[in-house]
Amino acid sequence: GIGFRLRSFTQEGTIGGFLKGYYNAALVASGPWILTVLTLIAIQFLMRQTAARTDLFLETIIYIYAFSLITTAPFQLVITRYLADQLDAQKLGAHIPSLVSITMVSTAFHAVVGLIFFSTVEVPWLYRFTAAALFAMVALVWLLMAFVGAVRAFHLVATAFVSGTIVSIVSAYGLGLRLGEPGYLMGMLIGNSIIVAICLTALAREFECAASFNFEWMDYFRETPYLPVAGMLYYAAIWSSIMIYWFTIGDPVQPHVLYAYEAIDLASFYAQMTIIPAVTMFYVHNETSFYEDYRGFYNAVLAKKSLDVIRDRRETLVKNLKEAFFNLGLVQAVVTFGAIAFAPQIATGLQMSEHEQQLFVNMALGAAPQVMLLFVMVIMFYFQFYKEAMFTSLIALVGSLGFGALTLWPTHHPDLYGFGLLGGTGIALVVGMFWLFDRLSLLDYITFSSQPLAEEVPFRQDMLTSRGGFGKTIVQNGKLLVKTEKSL
């Protein structure tokens, strides 16, 4: 897919190859975030020039992105798992039909939910319909990220996000002057539509279409129930660190449900930009290198190599993975502390108040363990440690809410607002790392013990249950110690 192509550019040994690889990787891995932040900065600047109201537009965008991440995470992870299985089975014709079907389901769901939600906000109906449409379109952009990873035409994906950003800014300004607040939202809608259109073109050129629809991916909700929950809880943990202030000390930007604490909202968006270098590095180098070790281990198993060879592959995988996490942590630490050191200059450039600057620092500190936790969960997903990933995300959510509550009760500590993200994801990262490497230390055992029995042929007649099945037994020194009626 894209990751291996982009890595090859960075390994050319030229400045052009380095820039080409990382430029495209940043857009492919973090395109929606880059689009949104740059667009918000530009549109807010243009709105101030015309004395237009910015708070309603800003909070609408933040609500749309926050809740679309939470609601699309289950769909995104399930379809990613399904597509990975289809790629492994060389069934490339399943991509487009699956895309069509999940687009229908996601668009219908998010359009209805968005319209219901924004109908409770006291704004014109044009604003409500536009906001609901943007909610559905942004959700579709998140889902497309699961598909474009297999596209070799990386330049089209990068072009999609650059074009979408430019179109969003230009059309938002033009429509905003004529239609007011709904016009600015329409500009964002048009820009995201451009992204979707170009990405769909890239996918249509890459994959054949074997059927009109394919809903097989929906079976994976039943087969891997912990996977979608893990994704939903992860994003809920991130946004709960902000939402706790919305609904406690925040005020309604617009009656009745659009609550916000504006000081932390935009600061958190800017702070999320600090994870882009680490995400890009993971996407280009670490995940691709890990995948080679991952395939090396399982290829040794499939080739029936000796146990020593299999264990050697496992040890190599674990060693390289630890080094990758260390390097990623180092990159993130440099970026985070750089952002903190230059926080006054950043605040001046983005017209932040002193309080907003402090909240930016708090959220940037929280973004560091947040992104490292994301990397840990991605590796868990590779090995299908879905239950561990789900409980890790749950710990992050509970911790985020708990530490956030401590900044509000029994007394308010405004300079500590936002530390819930640092506390929650920090604890979850420690727990997740422990679970991951504990399981990896037993990877060869887990791999073999999880395989189904070839046949139910007991070596002793008394191992049969009363129903004729192969009962669960414990045998020691040739003696039957336990026999249950539960069939394997």
| 8-state DSSP, 470 | B
Give the CA distances from residue 337 to residues 141, 206, 362, in Å, rounded to whole numbers and listed in that order: 31, 41, 11
Note the pLDDT of residue 485.
44
Domain boundaries, the chain: 1-220, 224-451, 459-487
The average confidence (pLDDT) of the chain is: 88
pLDDT of residue 200 exceeding 80, the answer is yes
Q: Is residue 406 very low, low, confident or very high in pLDDT (cuts 50, 70, 90)? A: very high
Please report, rounded to a whole number, the percentage of residues in the chain having pLDDT higher than 90: 63
Note the pLDDT of residue 21.
82
- One-character DSSP codes across 41-87: HHHHHHHHHTT---HHHHHHHHHHHHHHHHHHHHHHHHHHHHHHHHH
Please state the pTM of the whole predicted model.
0.89
Q: Is residue 488 very low, low, confident or very high in pLDDT (cuts 50, 70, 90)? A: very low
Average pLDDT over residues 30-57: 82
Q: Assign residue 418 a region (left: φ > 0; alpha: ψ between -120 and 50; beta: otherwise).
A: left
Runs of H (alpha helix) within 350-452:
354-382, 386-406, 419-440, 443-449
Q: 56 vs 255, which has greater pLDDT? A: 56
pLDDT of residue 2 exceeding 90, the answer is no
Note the pLDDT of residue 483.
47
Note the pLDDT of residue 150.
67
Helix H or strand E encompassing 484: strand 479-487
Note the pLDDT of residue 470.
47
pLDDT in tens, 90-136: 787 888 999 999 999 999 999 999 999 999 999 999 999 999 999 99
| 8-state DSSP, 472 | E
Average pLDDT over residues 172-199: 93
pLDDT in tens, 258-281: 899 989 998 998 999 999 999 999
pLDDT of residue 155 exceeding 80, the answer is no
pLDDT in tens, 235-253: 999 999 999 999 999 988 8
Cis peptide before 410 (omega within 30 of 0): yes
Give the CA distances from residue 196 to residues 40, 62, 98, 164, 243, in Å, rounded to whole numbers and listed in that order: 19, 20, 16, 9, 29
pLDDT in tens, 425-459: 999 999 999 999 999 999 999 998 877 654 444 54
Note the pLDDT of residue 208.
78
Note the pLDDT of residue 8.
79
- Residues 198 and 104: their CA atoms lie apart, in Å, by 18
Note the pLDDT of residue 1.
59
pLDDT of residue 46 exceeding 70, the answer is yes
pLDDT in tens, 332-341: 999 999 999 9
Three-class secondary structure assignment of 235-304: HHHHHHHHHHHHCCCCEEEECCCEEECHHHHHHHHHHHHHHHHHHHHHHHHHHHHHHHHHHHHHHHHHCC
**Among 141-155, 292-306, 368-382, whose mean pLDDT is lowest?**
141-155
Q: Is residue 34 very low, low, confident or very high in pLDDT (cuts 50, 70, 90)? A: confident
Backbone φ and ψ for 479, nearest 5 degrees, come out as -110, 140
